[in-house]
Chains A and B, each alone.
Chain A
Amino acid sequence: MSADFTITKGLNLPMLGAPGTNVRSLSAKGTISVFPSEFQKLKFKSLVEEGSKVTRGGKLARRKDLDGFFVCSPVSGTVKAVNLGERRSLKEIVIEPDGSDAAESFQSFTVDGVLRAKSENVLAVLLESGLLGLIHQRPFDRIANPADKPKSIFVNGMATAPFRPDAHVLAEGKADAVQLALNALTLFTDGPVHLCLSADAKEKKDALTEAANVQVNYFNGPHPAGNTSTHIHTLDPVIPGDVVWTLRVSDLILIGELLSTGTYPNRKRIMVAGEGLKEEARGYVDVDLGMSLADVLAETQEEGEQRIIRGDTLAGATANPADTGIFLYDQGFVALPEDKERHLMGWYTPALDQYSAHKVAPSNWLKDKLFSFGTNLRGGHRAMVLTGIYDPYVTLDILVDPLVRACLAGETEDAIAMGILESEPEDYALCTFVCPSKTDFGKIISDALDLIEQEGF
């Protein structure tokens, strides 16, 4: 089964620094770090202390508000440190690997066998290993609650934002893991499991395009055609009260590996890209889970100050490679040059080397040119003045101006009626990008969503 959809709204940023398809392999040099803090808004209690011995798959921490959800170790070794972050939250557990293969074993399934398994059994494995944390739930994009039954499940296999990894490269050689995980997902819902792929990949023959037991959908069009919200809105919109689960192909692979082998995964393939990296380094890397990000990026960066972004350039978080590592949830990093250069009369000069989505900038008239994007704000913060310019960048049948006004005024009921629950902050990233007043739409929307979640609806 497959279906095609074309998205007309949106914008592809003509950004230099796209990843190649080369794959390198790296291994951890020193310690491995596990970050319970990667599951934002969740609280964990450490089950180990300095000097504790752990095996691969061994429990390191438990979630305070949900019994049976653990954070596990991807490697066997000795706990070297338990680091706390803000307000004594559990930030990081550092493990010195001992090189042994000792591993906990979880229940394993075969590709077909899982279809006949009980959903509770499969869910129990995901819960105990903590890989349930890879499955998110809409609205509010929080970690899936195993007590909920989603009306459908969406797997995102697209990469329209600059830059996200090509799911087909991630899934190379993982056909069984992918199919097993998809089969497992069908147990969790009475509705369909949607696998959303780029229309460009239609001719490919791989685990994703030939996936069975799920609905394969091909999306054509510019960013945000590859955002999960776009897929949900097109295929099965979230109406207040509905729950859908979402995950990405990179998550699918980890879940598939755990369920097929019964051992906790310890490697994953990530993308590194962006102009801040040397050209030959832009591509894919097979890395150890929890290895230091500084080691992954060692000797790959260009001269000068670079910003390392976890995620993509439109919706990502700044990461400091020295004190972070590879999270379970990571699928890529982008390096951008920190651009603090000041330009003489920059508001007046043509600035042909700076991309703009607005026709008022001469650079917009240059077609098919790739631009260098730094992290410069390209202007100053001002009151929001222009209206109606944001709608062409949001695919969700939402009027952006009234929604943002409602959010700023704290009118949560209005915001819900206008459709905020269908969206996530990342869906407004292009609005943030194009805004001449340099407004941060992501912050406005995420604050409003937090408020709605607190107040309930």
Chain B
Amino acid sequence: MKDIKKLIEEKHDSVRSLFEKGGKFEKWYPLFEAQDTFALTPPDTTKGMTHVRDAVDLKRVMFTVVVALIPCLLWGMFNAGSMYYQHSGLETNLFATMFRGAWIVMPIVLVSYIAGGIWEVAFAVIRKHEINEGFLVTGLLFPLTLPPTIALWQVAVGISFGVVVGKEVFGGTGFNILNPALTARAYLFFAHAKDMTGEVWAAAKDGATGATPLGLGASFGGEGLNVTDALADRGFTFGSMLWGLEPGSIGETSAIAVLIGAAILIISGVGSWRIMAGGCAGLAAAGVLMNLLPAEVMFEGEMVKATTWTNIPFFYHFVMGSFLFGIVFMATDPVSAAATNTGKWIYGVLIGVVTVLVRVLNPGFPEGVMLAILFMNVMAPMIDYYVVQAHIKNRNANLRKFTYAKG
């Protein structure tokens, strides 16, 4: 190891001057810096009044999120492969399923990383700043929100939109209002709706289509059955949706895989448990509230169904669709979420509530979590504003108490 390190250090130092100010490739310094600090930690020392620093840097933080996404990625591959064989009717085994799944999923991930990476480097070079590690996460999050049937050119267009419009036009990492990965997905969702919505999920094989549980739920007509029975009829029980061997976007089908990721984020302290807990509480509360609504209402003398699935048990909301994936990986993006800790609770709860509102009461979209998070991204600064104002008020009251108490 010592030798490898020495070798890399020497090689890098031998070309460093080419990339530094006045060098031949001065423009490409961000690229060199990214590679250099990827291989070896920087030799920089502290300046200013604080002379020691914590061992953790942003690379480790972002890499932890990538690690937390790996269970979802692996399950996504397995699921895609298993859907392929299920619809093709061919014999398979674990290895073949995994291989087929990887064959379907990896190109999507690679295209996302490459297309997004090009933009990331381009902006770093133009703006002369470091390449931000946040893209390691964005570039993986985005493909996991796509159906495996997505065309590769759509992936490239989507991530380009996400990085450029979702992030760079605001000034780059740290300044964006919306989560870039979710912006990219929203773009595809509206621009290429027929390839994205839950109802027409082709299982990576021409001709075969299968609806996602959410798609089923949304189009459920209520013919004599209640919604859980209708789902069970098509093979979707709570247990099966928990495991997630079903049609859906690559990373979101398995609640178990997402929960493993959530555990990694919470234990390592990288993801905000407040947002996750708030989101789950909001979803459950809104789900219960929906159950209390009457399923049918009197309209012009006739009993009419109010909505299709108000009476689905609230815990079904957790395993159906992308809610868990969204609240664990997307809503916790610290840049676009509320910044104050109180604000994070409010932000999380409202995401849960809005998700249920879109799912149950909105006839247009089967899934609500993406819109809920984007909506709350926009609202986050306002939440923070009110939290700060409340804090200032509280603070001043405390200070005044002090003055009076002393007389």
Contacts and interface: CB of A to CB of B under 8 A. Distances in A.
A329 to B, nearest CB: 15
Interface stretch (B154-162, B310-318, B350-358, B396-404): B396-404
A440 interface: yes
Nearest to B385: A402
Interface stretch (A36-44, A46-54, A93-101, A429-437): A429-437
Contacts of B64: 360
| Residue among B133, B395, B402 having the largest count of chain A Cβ atoms under 10 Å | B395
Interface residues of B, number: 66
A399 interface: yes
B40 A361 contact: no
Contacts of B403: 239
Contacts of A348: 60, 63
A357 B41 contact: no
Interface string B149-177: 00000000000000000000000111100
Given A358-B54, A388-B344, A379 B395 contact: no
B53 A380 contact: no
A401 interface: yes
B352 to A, nearest CB: 19
B39 interface: yes
Interface in A20-52: none
A123 interface: no
Interface in A45-102: none
A3 interface: no
A317 interface: yes
A377 B403 CA distance: 43
Interface string A370-412: 0001111111111111111001000001010110010000000
A378 B50 contact: no
A441 to B, nearest CB: 8
A341 interface: yes
A237 B58 contact: no
Given A340-B45, A380-B37, A436 B272 contact: no
Given A348-B63, A436-B58, A315 B40 contact: no
B71 to A, nearest CB: 17
Contacts of B57: 347, 378-380, 382, 436-438
| Residue among A236, A360, A440, A443 having the largest count of chain B Cβ atoms under 10 Å | A360
B135 to A, nearest CB: 12
| Residue among A340, A376, A397, A440 having the largest count of chain B Cβ atoms under 10 Å | A376
B61 A436 contact: yes
Given A358-B269, A380-B130, A384-B174, A437 B58 contact: yes
Interface stretch (A212-220, A286-294, A306-314): A306-314
A346 B40 CA distance: 6
B337 A378 contact: no
A133 to B, nearest CB: 20
A221 to B, nearest CB: 19
A434 to B, nearest CB: 5
Given A236-B402, A355-B55, A401-B339, A376 B44 contact: yes
A85 B215 CA distance: 75
B364 interface: no
B207 interface: no
A425 interface: yes
B51 A380 contact: no
A365 B173 CA distance: 30
A316 to B, nearest CB: 6
A375 B44 CA distance: 9
A1 interface: no
Contacts of A344: 1, 4-5, 8, 39-40
Contact of B43 (A336, A340, A363): A340
A237 B401 CA distance: 11
B392 interface: yes
A336 to B, nearest CB: 6
A21 to B, nearest CB: 24
A315 B132 CA distance: 29
B334 A387 contact: yes
Interface string A413-441: 00001110000011001001111111010
A57 B173 CA distance: 58
A358 B265 CA distance: 12
A378 B55 contact: yes
B303 interface: no
A417 B388 CA distance: 10
Give the dominant DSSP class at A's interface: loop
Contacts of B134: 385
A347 B41 contact: yes
B292 interface: no
A224 B42 CA distance: 29
B136 to A, nearest CB: 11
Nearest to B42: A380
B52 A386 contact: no
Contacts of B339: 387-388, 401-402, 405
A432 B48 contact: yes
B117 to A, nearest CB: 17
Interface string B358-402: 000000000000000000000000001001100110010011001
Contact of A387 (B42, B337, B398): B337
Contact of A379 (B4, B51, B56, B63): B56
Nearest to B6: A344
Contact of B53 (A307, A376, A385, A418): A376
Contact of A336 (B52, B54, B387): B52
A375 to B, nearest CB: 5
B270 to A, nearest CB: 5
A343 B59 CA distance: 14
B46 interface: yes
Nearest to A312: B51
Interface string A199-238: 0000000000000000000000000000000000000110
A124 to B, nearest CB: 30
A388 B384 CA distance: 11
A321 to B, nearest CB: 16
B267 interface: yes
A401 B384 CA distance: 10
Interface in B325-346: 334-335, 337-341, 344
A342 interface: yes
Given A360-B61, A361-B60, A402-B384, A440 B50 contact: yes
Interface string A108-123: 0000000000000000
A399 B388 contact: yes
Contact of B40 (A342, A402, A436): A342
A93 B311 CA distance: 85
Contacts of A376: 41, 43-46, 53
Interface in A148-196: none
B126 interface: no
Given A237-B402, A317-B49, A358 B44 contact: no
5 contacts: A307-B45, A317-B49, A346-B41, A377-B53, A387-B340
Interface of B: 1, 4-5, 8-9, 33, 37-61, 63-64, 130, 132-134, 172-175, 267-270, 272, 274, 334-335, 337-341, 344, 384, 387-388, 391-392, 395, 398-399, 402-403, 406
Q: Which 6 A-B pairs have the closest CB atoms?
A: A379-B57, A383-B174, A346-B41, A347-B59, A354-B55, A387-B339
Given A358-B268, A385-B335, 18 more contacts: A236-B402, A237-B399, A307-B51, A314-B49, A340-B45, A342-B41, A363-B55, A373-B52, A375-B45, A377-B53, A383-B175, A388-B339, A418-B392, A432-B49, A433-B50, A436-B56, A436-B58, A440-B49
